[in-house]
């Protein structure tokens, strides 16, 4: 594929529609570009979690899913007008736009002995997520008792080449931007 | 749904069951809420000397377990029968 192509899909936040829409988007992508099994898996996991996030946090308004295919990347943007993403430094909740003292800081979100999800405050309205992986050998009770029970952002971050959140202060809208590579990893 | 699953798992362990097989053979996909409930159930099982194992995961769910390292925390079997046959091994 040369150039860039994109399409918008609406999600009504109905749980029964989640998997149907996920598969419709995968079908759309597969019609336009060759996607390997690994990329399809990652795309599916990212969509399921973004749509689950929409159900949990955006209420009846639903969300828009924009899919852009460009070069060797699939870019998924979930946009909604729900409450802004909550991020805290210790016990202090950080407001949007992010105050200057927090800019370029990295915040520990959640994690366990397998790795820590971190959020870097790139500018006053943008956060990028990444995982600091741990060297894990075998399971034991210490690992299990330490396991996180929060997986949504962790799944998306581990599946993506880049994963960001952007808050539009003028429109009071949220965008989660997930970039998946179609290159074999 | 995840809360219901967690309650059901807790009830099974409270009844004294020591080996619980979660059968995924009819499951197409899972989300993070369910996975959180599954991990929570596993944490509840350990101090009650119970074990929770999973069986019949499709390829996507198996890859998902690997992606978030749950393959390190759960014993995974190809089928529920395999899980029963290999109890304690």
Segment A140-177, tens digit of pLDDT? 667 788 889 999 999 999 999 999 999 999 998 999 99
What's residue B88's pLDDT?
80
Q: Give pTM, 2 decimals.
A: 0.94
Chain A residues closer than 8 Å to B57 by CB: none
| Residues of chain A contacting residue B70, judged by C-beta atoms under 8 Å apart | 147
User: What's the pLDDT band for A138 if we cut at 50, 70, 90?
Assistant: low
Look at residues A140, A143, A154, A139 and name the one whose alpha carbon lies nearest to residue A113.
A143
Report ipTM for this prediction: 0.93
Q: What is the pLDDT of residue A121?
A: 96
Q: Is the pLDDT of residue A137 over 70?
A: no
- Are A152 and B67 a contacting pair at CB < 8 A? no
Question: What is the per-residue pLDDT across B69-88, written as a single tens digit (0 to 9) for each?
Answer: 999 899 999 999 999 999 98
**Within an 8 Å CB–CB cutoff, is residue B60 touching chain A?**
yes
Asked if the C-beta of B62 comes within 8 angstroms of chain A's C-beta atoms, the answer is no
Q: Does pLDDT of B62 surpass 90?
A: yes
Beta-carbon contacts of B89 under 8 Å, excluding residues fewer than 6 positions away, are none
Share of chain B residues as helix, strand and coil, in percent rounded to the nearest 5: 55, 15, 35
Percent of chain B with pLDDT over 70: 100
CB neighbour list of residue A25: distance below 8 Å, 6 or more residues apart: A9, A43, A47, A65, A67
Structure tokens at A6: 């994109």
Alpha helices in chain B (DSSP H): 2-14, 32-45, 59-67, 80-85
Question: Is B10:B78 a contact under the CB 8 Å cutoff?
Answer: no
Inter-chain CB proximity B60 and A41 less than 8 Å? yes
Best mutation target among B34, B49, B69 (most A Cβ atoms within 10 Å) is: B69
Distance (Å) from the alpha carbon of B40 to chain A's nearest alpha carbon:
7
Q: Does B42 contact A at CB distance below 8 Å?
A: yes
Closest partner residue to B72 (CB to CB) among A22, A114, A149 is: A114
Whether residue A113 has pLDDT greater than 90: no
Dihedral, CA atoms, A165, A52, A29, A128, nearest 10 degrees? Answer: 20
Q: Please tell me the predicted confidence (pLDDT) of residue A76.
A: 98
For the record, the structure tokens of A125 come out as 């309205």
Which residue is associated with the tokens 């894990």? A136
Per-residue pLDDT reduced to its tens digit, A14-43: 999 999 999 999 999 999 999 999 999 999
Which pair of structure tokens corresponds to residue B76? 């995974």
Among A43, A45, A148, the residue to mutate for chain B (most B Cβ within 10 A): A45
CB neighbour class for A157 (10 Å; exposed up to 12, middle 13-18, buried from 19): buried
Owner of token pair 């029964």: A16
Strand partners, B36: none
Q: What is the pLDDT of residue A57?
A: 86
Alpha carbon of B2: minimum distance to chain A alpha carbons (Å): 12
Q: B39 and A136 in contact by Cβ < 8 A? A: no
pLDDT of residue A61: 81
Q: How large is the average pLDDT for residues A64-87?
A: 95
Separation in Å, CA of B47 to nearest CA in chain A: 10
């Amino acid at each position: 594929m040369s150039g860039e192509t994109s399409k918008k899909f609406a999600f009504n936040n109905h749980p029964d529609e989640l998997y149907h829409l996920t598969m419709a988007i995968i079908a759309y992508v597969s019609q336009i570009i060759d996607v390997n099994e690994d990329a399809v898996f990652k795309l599916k996991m990212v969509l399921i979690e973004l749509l689950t996030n929409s159900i949990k946090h955006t209420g009846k308004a639903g969300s828009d899913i924009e899919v852009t295919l460009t070069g060797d990347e699939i870019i998924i943007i979930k946009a909604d007008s729900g409450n802004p993403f909550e991020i805290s430094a210790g016990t202090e909740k950080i407001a949007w736009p992010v105050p200057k003292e927090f800019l370029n800081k990295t915040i520990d979100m959640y994690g366990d002995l397998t790795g820590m999800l971190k959020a870097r405050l790139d500018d006053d309205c943008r956060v990028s997520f990444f995982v600091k992986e741990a060297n894990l050998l075998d399971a034991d009770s210490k690992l299990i008792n330490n396991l996180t029970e929060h997986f949504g952002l962790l799944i998306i971050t581990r599946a993506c080449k880049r994963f960001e959140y952007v808050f539009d202060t003028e429109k009071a809208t949220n965008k989660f931007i997930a970039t998946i590579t179609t290159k074999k990893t | 749904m995840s809360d219901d699953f967690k309650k059901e798992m807790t009830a099974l362990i409270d009844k004294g069951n020591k080996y619980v097989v979660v059968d995924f053979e009819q499951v197409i996909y899972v989300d993070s809420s369910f996975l959180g409930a599954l991990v929570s159930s596993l944490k509840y099982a350990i101090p009650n000397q119970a074990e929770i194992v999973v069986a019949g995961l499709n390829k996507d769910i198996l890859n998902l377990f690997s992606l978030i390292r749950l393959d390190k925390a759960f014993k995974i079997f190809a089928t529920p029968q395999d899980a029963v046959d290999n109890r304690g091994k």
